[in-house]
Amino acid sequence: MPKEGENIFEIIGLILLKLAKMFYILDKKIPNSLMVELSEKDKALFIELLTFPEKDRLLSQLRKFSHREDLFIVGGAVRDFLLGKRITDLDIAVKYDIYALYQYLAEVLSFSPVPLSEEFGIYRLAKGGYTLDLTLYRGETIEEDLRERDFTFNAMAIPLEGLFEGPFYLYDPFYGYSDLQKGIIRALGEENIKKDPLRILRGYRFYALNYGYLEEKTRVYFQNQAQKLLLIAPERLSMELKYILISDKAYLAFKAMDEDRVLEILFPEIIPAKGLPQPSFHHLDVFAHSLEALKWAEIILKEPKKYLGLNEIPEIFNEEDFVIAVKLGSFLHDLGKGYTYGESEERITFYGHESKGAELWIARAKALRFKNEIADWVFSLIKNHMRPCHLLKEWENKTLSARAKRNLLKAHSELFSLWIVAMADSLASRGPDKEKDYEEKLKAFFKDLLSFQQDLERVEKRERLITGKDLIAIGFKPGPLFKEILEEVEIKAIEGVLKTKNEAISYVLERYRKELPK
């Protein structure tokens, strides 16, 4: 019965409106699966979270196609909207006339057209860090398309027309929203992983980015299909590794990848390090120590003031290349130990493991198509990671020369990355023979190196005490000796031993008199 004040015709109208919405859904040929009606506030939130440049123009152009029943917003845009995150990548699934739509949007928007795969109907419009992707249905219906995707929370869709007119719906045939709420990363099926094994790394990437934990069956799929990663283009692999490394959970992701036997597919050089014993400075085998070093590098990057004693955090700490180099350098610093292991009655040795590890890394970096800057940076970190430890004792005894400091800086000038790798290496070592205050000594040593580096830069910027012309004037002939003499004078200037040009000339004549031509 109608409540007081209600008109029977109003009730009938409401019933008809609900039926209209039902037929609206059925008319779109969407199967009888989970369809959730969202509110007008949700619609407004989606538009608010869409943080594209020229957003009003973009929406105005998309509105012109709101009558098309085959256009659906899919993938990451839907997922991030439901999490309340900014939407910087807009994916639209299209059933027909995709190229004409792509051409039109390329003409009317100031985005750069990027045809990713004409064969499979994947087109991109990009501007800055924002992308609008148009992808052809994989199958005849939107449900068939979603069924082919990687994880349940990426298999949801919103009809584009609902963004502008009519009801605003979330189509969720595989209960992705439930998994998203519960923090479950669930693959749609093993066949989906088999078709595109890169989805294995995407799974660990989502884990590293805090989308949830990897469901056990999904991890089994990853284990079963891990070898197929070798069929993937190296550039795609290194891109996913980059996303993992710049996250806050690279250590946990690498640990899970190791447990699933995926990490050794990407870095087969780590296999000899597993179970390999170390001297009593350490408490873990070589591989476990390497993972532990990665964990500590991540901790140090989060709290550099605490672990490095810095008053201000240098800008370089926010650069992606720096973070990637530090984490890879920490994880792979002992890569060569599996190939240089030696044992006698007295002790275990790994002579030359730094050079061997650097050599192994550079080959792997090329195989995975890491960019040259990263490859070279990590190479230097691996090759030089022991030098601070070797020089520390001399520094403690105040016998470390300015030349030795300068040689270290010449070998690896970016001191902060080397400092983090050395500190992570130390913190990952808790054997009985390790000095208890080792990190404090290391911290003090690096602060001294930083100060020395600043002094060196000041000396290099000011006018030299003497030049090559001065050496010629006092009788020396140009040659390789010039570089040695000028560097020696520079070091003595840093140490405060030489302050004037006359003092420098007198010092050179006294020290290098035997080298003067007769």
pLDDT (tens digit per residue) in 127-147: 888 999 999 999 999 999 999
Instruction: State the pairing for strand pair 184-185/213-214.
Output: parallel
Please give the average per-residue pLDDT across 143-163, as a whole number. 95
Please give the average per-residue pLDDT across 20-34, as a whole number. 44
Q: What pLDDT is recorded for position 21?
A: 40
Q: What pLDDT is recorded for position 142?
A: 94
Per-residue pLDDT tens over the stretch 111-127: 888 877 777 789 999 98
Report residue 2's pLDDT band, with 50, 70 and 90 as the boundaries.
very low
Q: What pLDDT is recorded for position 7?
A: 56
Q: What pLDDT is recorded for position 426?
A: 96
- What is the rounded CA–CA span in Å between residue 253 and residue 256? 5
- What is the rounded CA–CA span in Å between residue 463 and residue 221? 65
Residues 141-163 as b/e (b if ≥16 CB within 10 A, e otherwise) read ebbebbbbbbbbbbbbbbbbbbb
Q: What pLDDT is recorded for position 136?
A: 94
- Out of 30-34, 137-141, 272-276, which region has the weakest mean confidence (pLDDT)? 30-34
Q: Residue 26 pLDDT more than 70?
A: no
Q: Residue 17 pLDDT more than 90?
A: no
Please give the average per-residue pLDDT across 241-247, as a whole number. 97
Please give the average per-residue pLDDT across 461-488, as a whole number. 80
Amino acid found at 475: G
Q: Residue 440 pLDDT more than 60?
A: yes
Q: Is 264 exposed, middle or buried (0-12, 13-18, 19+ CB in 10 A)?
A: middle
Please give the average per-residue pLDDT across 514-518, as a whole number. 77
Q: Is 427 helix (H, G, I), strand (E, B) or coil?
A: helix
- What is the rounded CA–CA span in Å between residue 226 and residue 8? 64
CB 91 within 8 A of CB 68: no
Please give the average per-residue pLDDT across 225-230, as a whole number. 97
Q: What's the mean pLDDT when you consider all of the chain?
A: 89
Q: What pLDDT is recorded for position 30?
A: 47
CB 133 within 8 A of CB 123: yes
Q: What pLDDT is recorded for position 344?
A: 83
Per-residue pLDDT tens over the stretch 177-215: 999 999 999 999 999 999 999 999 999 999 999 999 999
DSSP annotation of 301: H
Report residue 240's pLDDT band, with 50, 70 and 90 as the boundaries.
very high
Taking the CA atoms of the chain, what radius of gyration do you get in angstroms?
31
Q: Is 329 exposed, middle or buried (0-12, 13-18, 19+ CB in 10 A)?
A: buried
Q: What pLDDT is recorded for position 291?
A: 98
- What is the rounded CA–CA span in Å between residue 197 and residue 76? 19
Q: What pLDDT is recorded for position 14?
A: 43
Q: What pLDDT is recorded for position 463?
A: 67
CB 72 within 8 A of CB 92: yes
Q: What pLDDT is recorded for position 29?
A: 44
Report residue 495's pLDDT band, with 50, 70 and 90 as the boundaries.
confident
Per-residue pLDDT tens over the stretch 331-386: 999 999 999 999 887 889 999 999 999 999 999 999 999 999 999 999 999 999 99
Q: What pLDDT is recorded for position 211?
A: 96
Per-residue pLDDT tens over the stretch 96-110: 999 999 999 989 988
Q: What pLDDT is recorded for position 8?
A: 59
DSSP annotation of 153: G
Q: What pLDDT is recorded for position 462?
A: 67
